[in-house]
Amino acid sequence: MLNTIFPTELSEGWTIIYIDDIIICSDSWSLHLERLARVLHKAAEVNIKISLKKCNFGFEELKALGHIVSGLSLGIDKNKVAAVSLKPIPQKKKEMISFLGFDSYYRQHLKDFEILAKSIYRICDQKTVFGMTQERMKAYEKIRKALTEAPLLLMPDWNIKFRLYIDACGDELGEALHQVQIMDDKPTEGAVCYISRQIKPTEARYGASQMECLFLVWALEELHYYLDGSAFEVIADCNSVK
């Protein structure tokens, strides 16, 4: 409903709407007040009621959908992670599936998530008897640690070239999309997002060069919303890809 009320604000790119939440983004306080007045005026015109106690104004960062969002970076809400970390080790398949679902939501923050979670995925299969072996316990602890230590992701700057790192490791594909942005007056390279997946049985027969090419094509498809129309360079170990 709100999308139909604020189509212009959405198309201009400074308004974000999720269900009944409205987020207004601005580069300056004066512009922010102008945009806020515009949204409130339009809301009043269609008799939308807004609860003042649920509103936050003028913050440089905010919590949204389990993330800490600012104009520079995207981080994981540590309160969400702490709540999961305090839970006991899963003793049932259903509990482990729930744990993996939570982790998967933040997979863009976790380098090589599929590699970390590989042995955990296996015990979630219906044909597999649930049991926490030493290997699975290590994987479980590594994932929990990765969540607590997950880096802030850079907000993409569409005027800066992306760096796409690709790596086919064993039976998994891992990739990192980076940019070099100015932080504290110094050029600093950081991750914009991570993606990974396991290799399919038919792909396991590929040679090294074929595997790197496979991953490059897959990465371009997965990250099209970053890379379509953007300048980027591909960084790979395989000479055929270079």
Domains and CATH numbers, the chain: 2-58 (no CATH), 75-148 (3.30.70), 156-235 (3.10.20.370)
| Sheet of 67-70, strand order | 61-64, 67-70, 73-76, 153-154
Residue 145, amino acid: K
Q: Tokens 């609860």 correspond to what residue?
A: 51
| The predicted structure's pLDDT at residue 66 | 92
Which two three-digit tokens encode residue 129? 């008897």
pLDDT at 11: 94
Q: Is 163 helix (H, G, I), strand (E, B) or coil?
A: strand
Model's pTM, two decimal places? 0.81
> Distances from the Cα of 28 to the Cαs of 58, 59, 99, 123, 188, in angstroms?
10, 11, 40, 51, 24
How far is 154 from 179, CA to CA, in rounded Å? Answer: 8
pLDDT recorded at residue 123: 86
Q: Are 232 and 161 in contact (CB under 8 A)?
A: yes
Ramachandran quadrant class, 38 (left: phi over 0; alpha: psi -120 to 50; beta: rest): alpha
Calpha distance 203→218 (Å, rounded): 12
Q: Is-contact 169 115, C-beta < 8 A?
A: yes
Residue type, 197: R
Q: Which residues of the chain have pLDDT under 50?
A: none
pLDDT at site 127: 81
- 91 φ, ψ to 5°? -110, -5
Q: What is the pLDDT of residue 241?
A: 56
In DSSP notation, 94-121 reads HHHHHHHHHHHHTGGGSTTHHHHHHHHH
What per-residue confidence (pLDDT) applies to 45? Answer: 94
> At 143, is the secondary structure helix, strand, or coil?
helix
What pLDDT shows up at residue 175?
Answer: 87
What pLDDT does residue 170 have? 61
Please report, as a single letter, which amino acid is at residue 207. G
